[in-house]
Amino acid sequence: MATPLMGQMMTSPLTISSLITHAARHAGATEIVTKRVEGDLHRYTWRDAEQRSRQMAQALLKLGCQPGERIATLAWNTHRHLETYYAVAGSQMVIHTINPRLFPEQIAWIANDAQDSVLFFDATFLPLVEKLAPSLPSVRHFVLMTDRAHMPAETSLKGLLCFEELMAAEDGRYAWPEFDENSAACLCYTSGTTGNPKGAVYSHRSSVLHSMAAALPDAMGCSARDVVLPVVPMFHVNAWGIPYTAALVGFKLVMPGPHLDGKSLYELFEGEKVTFSAGVPTVWLGLLNYVKANGLKFSTFKRTVIGGSACPPAMMKALKEDYGIEVIHAWGMTEMSPLGTLSKLNARQAALPADEQQHLLEKQGKVIWGVDMAIVGDDGRELPWDGQSAGNLLVRGHWVIDRYYNHPESPLASVDGKPGWFPTGDVGTIDQDGFLQITDRSKDVIKSGGEWISSIELENIAMAHPDVFEAAVIALPHPKWDERPLLVVVKKPGVELTREQMLGFFEGRIARWQIPDDVAFVAEIPHTATGKMQKLKLREQFKDHKLPGI
């Protein structure tokens, strides 16, 4: 057999440190601005961030940390968290971002599963960490991410270290090492709404490829002219990769710290001339409320990615029509780093009538290069892309996990008998144009008389009612139909809205048999630590609710 001719190009491993060295050399003067936990506005450049990341890497080595060790964070989006990201992964350790909104027992469980050796945390979480410390035997060092002046006078944490002191003790004369690009870089846990959370271990290679794909025009489409404020936290799937994409593209990054209320965000958006943002739908509810109540407008904010749960079309419409903000609807999950699909139009679709364009943009969108998807029936056979056939969604690609941390068994399944696909647990349709529409999590679908009703579709309709603040639909058992939908609604403050008016709103908007059987008005819908509606809790709360006619 002839010997194949090999390419004759330079190769070097795709490492995360290569992103920030690029930013320091080629976007060195571009700013990173942080509204810090201490309350001040901190400002420096990518050049400074890279220098300090090297210093923090030196500090970790001095603490005796080794390649492969898991270094945890309980922290907001700040420049210090960014430095920790790069210092840890850049020196071949593994950055484990923990969601501080989880229950303390869950945090301890996750830190023990990961066997974290160092825990970096913001001052906000000092009481939490003091409480957790006795149940974290693997943690050798606790580092408070602040300066000496803000260190607590007293704490039960023995040998508590000060971030800025560790930093100041180092000179930054450290060369980022080169190593196998398949080394672990980041560890993120799924939210674990059912059972214990599971860890997804991203590699340097998968993270760099994900960052490149995220930057593409038909993905997030950010350029060096953008000013980007990730509202999505760095403890929620790496803020959807924005800290990495930021360095790759070299754009200005604005970090909101713990200040996520409508007023603080609005002031930061305006003050720093933010053009692009990303977050879950619930965040925009808060910001839009503030802006609306105060009769404000955005002067530079033009585009945002919304994902993590379905973006209600009514929210998309309000952002576009009232504020001129384009929404890029995105779907993904922790197990896929997280980007899977984004809703962007091609030239032909962009020439369609406005309502047809809108219809496509409301879907979760098309996959980006690097990921493939398929929908299958219960027999594992691939279903047609007709926009009608709903099936279980599977994915594969460069930044999709092939196993969970500490779980040797493979989670993968087959499509048409071919193995190597990750089952997402989502149900959706794909249309002729390749646009995915998520109809539900498989456990949230409402199975009524042998047909499926999409809870997301019903929620989207309810959210379009001007008096509705938030809406969730859950399945309740029904003796004749198996399951029927119950609509749970939070009204906007001060409005009158009756059950009959609410149900009447569905007439003509959906098939009669899909209209919910009942409405429950509540003061609040419970949310998970990542801002999703907690349907498990709602099902528990309404398990004794009597639907009319039973």
List interacting residues with ligand ADP (CB under 6 A): 190-191, 236-237, 307-310, 329-334, 338, 364, 424-426, 438, 441, 530
Min. distance of Cβ 44 from ligand ADP in angstroms?
Answer: 29
Residue 486 phi/psi, 5-degree rounding, is: -115, 130
User: What gap in Å lies between CA 72 and CA 94, rounded to an integer?
Assistant: 8
User: What gap in Å lies between CA 250 and CA 22, rounded to an integer?
Assistant: 8
Our CB check for ligand ADP shows the closer of 152 and 192 to be 192
Min. distance of Cβ 329 from ligand ADP in angstroms?
Answer: 6
Min. distance of Cβ 529 from ligand ADP in angstroms?
Answer: 9
Our CB check for ligand ADP shows the closer of 84 and 191 to be 191
User: What gap in Å lies between CA 90 and CA 424, rounded to an integer?
Assistant: 30
User: What gap in Å lies between CA 495 and CA 549, rounded to an integer?
Assistant: 28
Edge-to-edge, what's the strand order for the sheet holding 141-144? Answer: 161-162, 141-144, 118-121, 70-74, 94-97, 184-189, 199-203
Q: Strands, E, within 98-198: which ranges?
A: 118-121, 141-144, 161-162, 184-189
Min. distance of Cβ 161 from ligand ADP in angstroms?
Answer: 30
Residue 466 one-letter amino acid: P
Q: What is the CB-side half-sphere exposure of residue 546 using CA atoms within 13 A? A: 3
Min. distance of Cβ 48 from ligand ADP in angstroms?
Answer: 30
Min. distance of Cβ 75 from ligand ADP in angstroms?
Answer: 17
Place of tokens 């690009």: 181
User: What gap in Å lies between CA 352 and CA 281, rounded to an integer?
Assistant: 27
Min. distance of Cβ 335 from ligand ADP in angstroms?
Answer: 6
Angle among Cα 431, 435, 441 to the nearest 5 degrees reads: 95
Our CB check for ligand ADP shows the closer of 263 and 539 to be 539
Our CB check for ligand ADP shows the closer of 338 and 397 to be 338
Q: How far is CA 327 from the centre of its chain?
A: 15
The answer to whether the beta carbons of residues 342 and 328 sit under 8 Å apart is yes
User: What gap in Å lies between CA 343 and CA 358, rounded to an integer?
Assistant: 10
- Exposure b/e, 508-539, CB count within 10 A at least 16 = b: eebeeebbbbbbbeeeebebbbbbbbbbeebb
In 306-412, where does DSSP find H-type helix? 313-317, 323, 347-350, 354-362
Angle among Cα 103, 105, 110 to the nearest 5 degrees reads: 95
Min. distance of Cβ 47 from ligand ADP in angstroms?
Answer: 31
User: What gap in Å lies between CA 159 and CA 162, rounded to an integer?
Assistant: 10
Dihedral of CA 22/236/423/459: which sign? Answer: negative
Min. distance of Cβ 197 from ligand ADP in angstroms?
Answer: 10
Our CB check for ligand ADP shows the closer of 139 and 436 to be 436
Dihedral of CA 316/320/323/328: which sign? Answer: positive
Our CB check for ligand ADP shows the closer of 203 and 530 to be 530
Which pair of tokens denotes residue 302?
A: 């033009």
Our CB check for ligand ADP shows the closer of 139 and 474 to be 474
Min. distance of Cβ 240 from ligand ADP in angstroms?
Answer: 7
| Secondary structure of residue 471 in the 3-state scheme | strand
Our CB check for ligand ADP shows the closer of 163 and 284 to be 284
| Secondary structure of residue 410 in the 3-state scheme | coil
Among candidate residues 487, 461, 493, the one with its CA nearest the CA of residue 475: 487
Residue 146 one-letter amino acid: T
Our CB check for ligand ADP shows the closer of 55 and 334 to be 334
Would you tell me how many other CB atoms lie within 10 Å of the CB of residue 505?
18
List, by residue number, the catalytic residues.
190, 335, 447, 452
Our CB check for ligand ADP shows the closer of 108 and 328 to be 328
